[in-house]
Amino acid sequence: MDHWDPLQSRTGLNSLPHELLEHIVELVSAQDRGSTGWSIDFASPSTAHSRDEHQGALQDDKLSWWYGHGVSALSLVSKNLRSFALPHLLKSVTAAQLEKPIFQYGRVPAGMLAGVEELDLLEANSSSFAAAARALRRLPRVDRITYSARRGGQLDQRAEKDALAWQAFAAHTDKITTLTIHDLPTLEEVEESIMVKLAKPEALRRLKVCGAASPSWLHSYQCLLADTFTRLEVLQDRRSAFHSHVPGPVASGAWHGAVFTRLRELELLVSDVKVFEGLRSWAPNLVTVQLTVPETFLDDEDLALVTPVLLPELRELTLRGGWSCTRALALVDISLLAHVRLFITSRNTLCVNWAGLLPAEVTLPRGLDLDVSVHALNIVQTEDDKDDKFFADLVERDVRLTNRVMDPLAAFRPPSSLVDEGSALEDASLARAIAAGRAAGTAKWRVQRAMEVGDARAVQEMEETLRKVEERRVLESL
């Protein structure tokens, strides 16, 4: 029998290469970030007598509290792992947190502060804004700021009181590459100087805009952005209260020929059939475009009046909306595209043939990746010879088709392991699937309606009803 040599080194975590330990921490951190979007309740922290139990199991009918805290657990294993985990423990910080004594008196480790990448000023008041300004020198990696344009304007109006705080932010502007703006008011209320105080125009690369706006001033605001932030590479306009009209090449005097020469990625809500004509003049070097269009976007008469527009650098196009969103493919020259994504979000229960999915005027380029995602209440089916010809053309042109179903009932179905074992129900019919999908759609509508009228009890009841569904989805995604 072999005996253990006391001089022989033991193998453990500390014996692993530092590069491997760092990679392990990064993977766990990625899983933690993914779990933050789960809208479910977690179990309370495990008690002493239950720490030996498998933490991935359900506890008291709730998911383990460890989900989302993996890096925290690793940081407690050893000093070596803690040194790698510290920069991942705090990726985003709010102004209110920086006002707390634990931050004010330097009780947060420098390694943890060195990992902060985003500063959230959404709810900042005068005192917390000043605290955030004082903390900037201890946050060397902050390159993203989220703020409310309306609240930011209120801070700027008290310039004398907040002058020192704004000076601290001015010294940090060359490091800010991403701005996220909420509650964007009307153009008359927008102070361009506030944006410039937070991010130097030459440094800003990504801009996200959220909140409602009026299309009557959108053109002027886009001109202001193009003239000021000349090096912007990504623009995401996620305002949901309207559909913006991107101006065409012959636009009003407000356009002034402003052009985003460096813009590569764009996300917009649009309803103008001449959207690509506007983009050709406004952002001619786009590589990735994502457009969300209304339920009814184009008809045959509109298509007859529009000539496809060539964007020479465009390689990826994403269209989201009703069935008519696919008609937007006829508005742009897609001969150079490498990837097209179609998200059919319509809830009108329809059965559509593959041959009728795309406009007849559209010829898919060779080697294209075509992703089609359809709401569960709709079906794209294969029935006649036209569909057979459609698929034959895809094969002949080497087009790779991926068909996905945006199914709100995925969590109600048996787990994949049960399906593989042949234990799934054999009498599941299309009619039942459509009826169940309609019920899920109605549940979502009821939640939205309850939020609009402020019915907290109705929201709580729907949350309790659907909790099992979300837990099943989360478990299957692990």
Q: Interior CA angle at 164 toward 161 and 166, to 5°?
A: 95
Strands (E) in 193-258, as ranges, are: 206-209, 234-237
Q: Which residue has the higher pLDDT, 356 or 235?
A: 235
Residues in the chain: 478
pTM for this prediction: 0.70
| 434: number of Cβ within 10 Å | 16
The candidate with the shortest Cα–Cα distance to 311, out of 255, 265, 358, is 265
pLDDT band at 221, cuts 50/70/90? low
Strands (E) in 334-421, as ranges, are: 339-344, 351-353, 369-375, 379-381, 400-406
Determine phi and psi for 146, rounding to 5 degrees. Answer: -115, 130
pLDDT in tens, 427-477: 445 555 666 777 777 788 778 877 877 777 778 888 777 777 777 777 766
Is the pLDDT at 60 greater than 60, yes or no?
no
pLDDT band at 57, cuts 50/70/90? very low
Amino acid at 170: A
The secondary structure of residue 356, as a DSSP letter, is: G
pLDDT in tens, 240-272: 433 444 444 334 434 445 688 899 999 988 877
Q: Using CA atoms, how far apart are residues 156 and 197, in angstroms rounded to an integer? A: 10
Strands 369-375 and 144-148, bridge-based pairing: unpaired
Tokens 């996200």 belong to residue: 208
The secondary structure of residue 20, as a DSSP letter, is: H
C-alpha distances in Å from residue 77, one per residue of 35, 68, 85, 90: 21, 17, 10, 18
Is the pLDDT at 58 greater than 50, yes or no?
no
CA 304 from chain center: how many Å?
35
- Return the pLDDT at 326: 86
The secondary structure of residue 310, as a DSSP letter, is: P
Number of H helices, E strands in the chain: 17, 14
Give strand pairing partners of 206: 178, 234
Q: Which residue has the higher pLDDT, 254 or 386?
A: 386
- Return the pLDDT at 157: 52
Q: Average per-residue pLDDT in the chain? A: 75
Q: Spell out the domains of the chain, with CATH numbers in brackets.
A: 15-44+57-89 (no CATH), 91-432 (3.80.10)
Tokens 């945006």 belong to residue: 406
- Return the pLDDT at 21: 87
Q: Using CA atoms, how far apart are residues 95 and 103, in angstroms rounded to an integer? A: 11
The secondary structure of residue 291, as a DSSP letter, is: E
Is the pLDDT at 422 greater than 50, yes or no?
no
Q: Using CA atoms, how far apart are residues 446 and 452, in angstroms rounded to an integer? A: 10
The candidate with the shortest Cα–Cα distance to 165, out of 117, 197, 190, is 197
Q: Using CA atoms, how far apart are residues 2 and 44, in angstroms rounded to an integer? A: 46
H/E stretch holding 365 reads none
Q: Which residue has the higher pLDDT, 369 or 66?
A: 369
pLDDT > 90 fraction of the chain, expressed in percent and rounded:
17
pLDDT band at 416, cuts 50/70/90? very low
Strongest mean pLDDT among 131-135, 216-220, 324-328: 131-135
The candidate with the shortest Cα–Cα distance to 108, out of 119, 93, 129, is 93
Q: Using CA atoms, how far apart are residues 456 and 223, in angstroms rounded to an integer? A: 42
Tokens of 125: 């008041």
The candidate with the shortest Cα–Cα distance to 162, out of 128, 118, 122, is 128
- Return the pLDDT at 94: 93
Bin 220: left if φ > 0, else alpha if -120 < ψ < 50, else beta.
alpha
